[in-house]
Amino acid sequence: MFDKLKDIEAKYVEVERALSDPTQISNPQRLQSLAKTHAELAPIVSTFKEYQKVQAEAEEVLSLLEEETEEDLVELAKGEFELLTKQKEQLEQQLQLLMLPKDVNDEKNVITEIRAGTGGEEASLFAAELFRMYSRYAERQGWKIEILNANETGLKGFKEVIFSLQGDRAYSKLKFEGGIHRVQRVPATEGSGRIHTSAVSVAVLPEAEEVDLVIEPSDIRIDLYRSSGPGGQSVNTTDSAVRITHLPTDLVVTCQDEKSQHKNRAKAMKILRSRLLEQMQLEQDAERSQTRRTMVGSGDRSEKIRTYNFPQTRVTDHRIGLTIHQLDAVLDGELDPLIGALTTADQTEKLKTLQP
Packing angle of the helix pair 336-354, 71-98 (nearest 10 deg): 100
Fold adopted by 110-288+297-348 = Alpha-Beta Plaits (3.30.70)
Domain 2-98 CATH (choose: 1.20.58, 3.40.50, 1.10.287, 3.30.110): 1.20.58
Count of other CB atoms within 10 angstroms of residue 223: 12
State residue 290's pLDDT score. 42
H/E stretch holding 344: helix 336-354
Give the residue among 264, 249, 186, 185 at the shortest CA–CA distance from 215. Answer: 249
State residue 295's pLDDT score. 42
Torsion, Cα 303 309 315 316, to 10 degrees, reads -50
Alpha carbon distance 214, 10 (integer Å): 36
State residue 67's pLDDT score. 79
Alpha carbon distance 319, 86 (integer Å): 31
Per-residue pLDDT of the chain (356 residues; tens, 9 = 90+): 788 888 889 999 999 989 888 887 788 888 888 888 898 899 999 999 999 999 999 999 988 888 767 888 888 889 999 999 999 999 988 898 888 878 888 989 999 999 999 888 999 999 999 999 999 999 999 999 999 999 999 888 999 999 999 999 999 999 999 999 999 999 876 767 789 999 999 999 999 876 677 889 999 999 998 876 544 444 455 678 999 999 999 999 999 878 888 899 999 999 999 999 888 877 766 654 443 344 455 445 567 999 999 999 999 999 999 999 999 999 999 999 999 999 999 988 888 776 55
Q: What ranges do the domains of the chain cover? A: 2-98, 110-288+297-348
Phi, psi torsion values for 130, nearest 5 degrees = -65, -40
Are 157 and 125 in contact, with CB atoms under 8 Å apart? yes
Burial 7-43 (b: 16+ CB within 10 A, else e): ebbeebeebeebeeeeeeeeeeeeeeebeebbeebee
State residue 281's pLDDT score. 78
State residue 175's pLDDT score. 94
Tell me whether residue 330 is exposed, middle or buried, using C-beta atoms within 10 angstroms of its C-beta: 0 to 12, 13 to 18, 19 or more.
Answer: buried
